[in-house]
Amino acid sequence: MLNKVSSLAVFFLMSALVSNAQAERWQQHINYTIKASLDVSTNIINGSEEVVYDNNSTDTLKKVYFHLYWNAFQPNSAMDTRSRELGKTMLTNRKGDQVADWDARVKDRILNLKPEEIGFQKVGYILIGGKQQKLVQHETILEVQLTQPIAPKSSVTMTLVFQAQVPQQIRRSGRDNAEGVRYSMSQWYPKMVEYDYQGWNTNPYIAREFYGVWGGYDVTLQLDKSYMVAATGVLQNPNEAPNAQGLKTWNFKGNNIHDFVWAADNHYKHLSKQVRPNLTLNVYYKEKNASTDSAWSNVLWAAEKMLPFMEKKFGAYPYPQYSFIQGGDGGMEYAMATLIKGPGLGTVFHEWMHNWYQQILGTNESLFPWMDEGFTSFAEAIVSNQYNTNFAATSPFISEREKAQILANNEKAKTQLPLVQAGNYMGYLALAKSGLEEPMSTHSDHYNTNYAYSSAAYTKGATFLGLLGYVIGDSVRDKVMLNYYNTWKFKHPNANDFIRVAEKTSGIQLEWLKEYWVNSTKTIDYALNDIQAGPNTATISIQRIGKMPAPLEVLVTYKDGSTELHYIPLDLMLGNKVAEGKTTRIIHPECKWVQPTYTFETTKPLSSLKSIEIDPSYRLPDINRTNNKLEIPN
């Protein structure tokens, strides 16, 4: 049976079903007042914190916990041990070389740190109501046994003092990185562990993934007056003069965030632009030469130019400030700021998009790394493509040679499918064929290999959104991203929360997509199986080889040049996606997911057929494309 429906005749009730109301789920709240002074000759910080903690949960808390991340930068720490263990696994890279699986930035460098190069964070005491609390140290997690439990719906004020040594920069934070930035100050203060509906998230720090309590930061830093400080939040005292000891005080405030980063250097150059009444963009970098000057100027220029597009696609940027700060060891996202090694725009867009997928939508990165890295990688590809095709040519800061290179790359990109997301799909397909893949639901710290973690988090996570566009339609997927933002901004969404928004927006059942794509390593492979001639039609048989089912789009091209797109919804969806493109769409009865084969008829006889292709848009991450297309011989 065939249902012939033109693309214009298919409508779905979508956005009408979606409420933009904020999601209801309790979450803890915190206000930090931190005062810290850094001695730039000894690299020692002495600080104090006042923490006002609101227990909005329904539970009585007998303990609380703090992260002491820098204790990881000591020989034989969990982070050091883990890195050296991963280093024993040898993998074959794309060039065919054998490479160790450890992070090339970490390797065994922690083991070789000298006493003055290690990091540490020591909490002297924690007081509540003047009473000292019992502290139990677990390397990077500090357990606080409370003298008095914190009742549900109540607030407590803790005061603590801490001393820390800034480690030689190994990973993200630290002093004197490869680019010569003196201080990259992330994970630098005793930070409270988040308590949520799944309990305390007390992950020992072994190199990756963060999660924090929503709230406000009032941070006062004091250090040598020759240093410029860049940070999360808005500087409150730009005109403050140094004191008699030659120390300068910097006070920053930020709200509705869950982390705070700062960096300091005595040779930072600062570019700044107020791009609208409530938003200033900053760039801080080490002066080198004219070409680095123009590359960093281009960061500011491109950031301003791309912001309206990013907001239209992914939701409003809600903070008064954002800073691109040279520091760290690659690119790493923080509230209202990033630490980046250099001015490469791919990383610039990636890290800025993290302010959506990590900061504003504060997923638990340990449990759902693909919801921040994957979504960010997906957005990075879209924003980079928009910049390269519509903006780069007009930049006053890049040379004619660079522009010619971008244009050449644009031409090359047009041959790579699926357009824009080709890099992410290729990364996923390599993972799926590697034999090393683990379910995307694996805890970030507990993957067997770095390779499987990073490919799952970045490329398989990005491919998820490409596949979602294939299943519900790209335009509906784009609406999902905005509804997701509006429903879950300033909260901690999980995988199911995202799927629910996608279901409500599309009117299509999507639990199967989560179960297969996120919780399993099953793969998609459909094949053209057989073609039989009928009196006036051809009967096409498609075989499901892969264990993961999917809806199908099959493009039939006739010798007269006409085309028709045969759409076969999956029974698990209980609905059809919107029509996409201008090709006439023929909707067939749904395919049951249990069916190993599916047959349908073309509208013209076999003799008039030129070719048949499963998934002509290439958005289906089919692990074997060689069996997707058939050219019919004359």
Residue numbers at the binding site for Zn ion (CB under 5 A): 373, 376
Q: Which is nearer to Zn ion, 485 or 516 (CB)?
A: 485
The answer for residues whose C-beta is within 8 angstroms of residue 136's C-beta and 6 or more apart is 142, 143, 144, 145
Fill in the DSSP letter of residue 272.
Answer: E
Q: Which is nearer to Zn ion, 120 or 451 (CB)?
A: 451
Shortest distance, CB of residue 343 to Zn ion, whole angstroms? 17
Shortest distance, CB of residue 301 to Zn ion, whole angstroms? 22
Distance CA 23, CA 364 (A): 16
CB atoms within 10 A of CB 241: 8
Distance CA 149, CA 285 (A): 46
Q: Which is nearer to Zn ion, 373 or 590 (CB)?
A: 373
Distance CA 83, CA 105 (A): 10
Q: Which is nearer to Zn ion, 71 or 376 (CB)?
A: 376
**Paired residues of 247 in beta bridges:** 224
Shortest distance, CB of residue 380 to Zn ion, whole angstroms? 8
Shortest distance, CB of residue 331 to Zn ion, whole angstroms? 7
* Identity of the amino acid at 546: G
Distance CA 326, CA 328 (A): 7
Strand order across the 262-265 sheet: 174-175, 183-185, 262-265, 228-231
- The token pair at 205 is 């720090």
Picking from 446, 452, 369, 454, the residue whose alpha carbon sits closest to that of residue 78 is 446
Shortest distance, CB of residue 30 to Zn ion, whole angstroms? 24
Shortest distance, CB of residue 333 to Zn ion, whole angstroms? 6
Distance CA 133, CA 130 (A): 9
Burial class (CB in 10 A: 0-12, 13-18, 19+), 493: buried
Q: Which is nearer to Zn ion, 376 or 628 (CB)?
A: 376
Burial class (CB in 10 A: 0-12, 13-18, 19+), 16: exposed
Shortest distance, CB of residue 191 to Zn ion, whole angstroms? 20
Burial class (CB in 10 A: 0-12, 13-18, 19+), 79: buried
Shortest distance, CB of residue 372 to Zn ion, whole angstroms? 7
Fill in the DSSP letter of residue 622.
Answer: B
Shortest distance, CB of residue 377 to Zn ion, whole angstroms? 7
Q: Which is nearer to Zn ion, 451 or 516 (CB)?
A: 451
Q: Which is nearer to Zn ion, 373 or 503 (CB)?
A: 373
> Is the distance from CB of 178 to CB of 77 less than 8 angstroms?
no
Shortest distance, CB of residue 376 to Zn ion, whole angstroms? 5
Q: Which is nearer to Zn ion, 69 or 558 (CB)?
A: 69
Shortest distance, CB of residue 328 to Zn ion, whole angstroms? 12
* Identity of the amino acid at 243: N
Q: Which is nearer to Zn ion, 186 or 376 (CB)?
A: 376
Shortest distance, CB of residue 101 to Zn ion, whole angstroms? 19
Q: Which is nearer to Zn ion, 165 or 173 (CB)?
A: 173
User: Long-range contacts for 484-489 (Cβ within 8 Å, ≥24 apart)?
Assistant: 484/361, 485/314, 485/315, 485/356, 485/360, 485/361, 486/20, 486/315, 487/20, 487/21, 487/22, 487/23, 488/23, 488/361, 489/22, 489/315, 489/318, 489/360, 489/361
- The token pair at 152 is 């549900």
Q: Which is nearer to Zn ion, 457 or 552 (CB)?
A: 457
| Phi, then psi, of 333 in degrees rounded to 5 | -90, 140
SS3 label, residue 218: strand
Distance CA 34, CA 237 (A): 16
Shortest distance, CB of residue 464 to Zn ion, whole angstroms? 15
Q: Which is nearer to Zn ion, 126 or 303 (CB)?
A: 303
Q: Which is nearer to Zn ion, 462 or 482 (CB)?
A: 462
